[in-house]
Amino acid sequence: MEIEARLADVKQKIEKAEREAGRPAGSAQLVAVSKTFDAEAIRPVIQTGHRVFGENRVQESQAKWPELKAETPGIELHLIGPLQSNKAADAVALFDVIETVDREKIARALSTEMKAQGRQLPVYVQVNTGLEPQKAGIAPDDAVSFAGFCRQELGLDVVGFMCIPPADENPGPHFALLAKLAKEAGLERLSMGMSGDYETAIQFGATSVRVGSAIFGAR
């Protein structure tokens, strides 16, 4: 299948999942995850009219997105990978949404940079719903207070929570936990669901799904 056909297929499945969950069409945003794919592979997706993309590395993104953004106005680029504080300035300059605020140090660095650059970007707090030691994110018990700290003390525009459930577990309980925490924190947005489980995530209230390989192919 061509990349355009795979994108159309994913969009159709998102609409179906929205309908089945009794949710309005378009209430789950598709973030097309283009990591490891170059500008040549990404352009056909932009040409279909799709505008929202996700990348997990700052440096890799700097090699392709300034040009792609210059070609097409209205691109919305999400950082979905871990951020080092020495890359915060570059990330704030290039990305439009930061989904991976996963510790206090990075929250502080982003706050400082956003003020310095006059770019107040929407951010998500990443929650380590499975408490996996190798995975980034705030522990579920601390997520609500951390979101409050980011908003009130650092002035960050926290719009929601993001999670990556453990690969070997049923994702449903993790999505449900993230939804519950967002409700407690008074946050509107939930970034959850990838190629293997985005339809499930929509059932549980995902407002953004991050889909890579189902669109671009295997990495």
Ligand X SMILES: *Cc1c(COP(=O)(O)O)cnc(C)c1O
**Residues in 63-82 at the binding interface with ligand X, rule: CB under 6 A:** 80-81
Q: Nearest Cα to 179, choosing from 21, 53, 24?
A: 21
Q: Is 101 in the site for ligand X (CB under 6 A)?
A: no
Smaller CB distance to ligand X: residue 6 or 112? 6
**Residues in 7-36 at the binding interface with ligand X, rule: CB under 6 A:** 33, 35
Q: Nearest Cα to 101, choosing from 130, 116, 123, 69?
A: 123
Q: Is 154 in the site for ligand X (CB under 6 A)?
A: no
Tokens of 112: 């400082």
Helix or strand or coil: residue 137?
coil
Strands 52-55, 97-101: pairing is unpaired
Sign of CA dihedral 86, 60, 157, 151: negative
Q: Is 210 in the site for ligand X (CB under 6 A)?
A: yes
Tokens 């997706």 belong to: 45
Point out which span in 68-76, 136-144, 153-161, 208-216 binds ligand X (CB under 6 A): 208-216
Nearest-approach distance from CB 118 to ligand X, in angstroms: 28
- Which one-letter DSSP state was computed for residue 56? S
Q: Out of 7, 42, 56, 206, which residue is the one contacting ligand X (CB under 6 A)? A: 56
Site residues, ligand X (CB under 6 A): 33, 35, 56, 80-81, 164, 194-196, 210-214
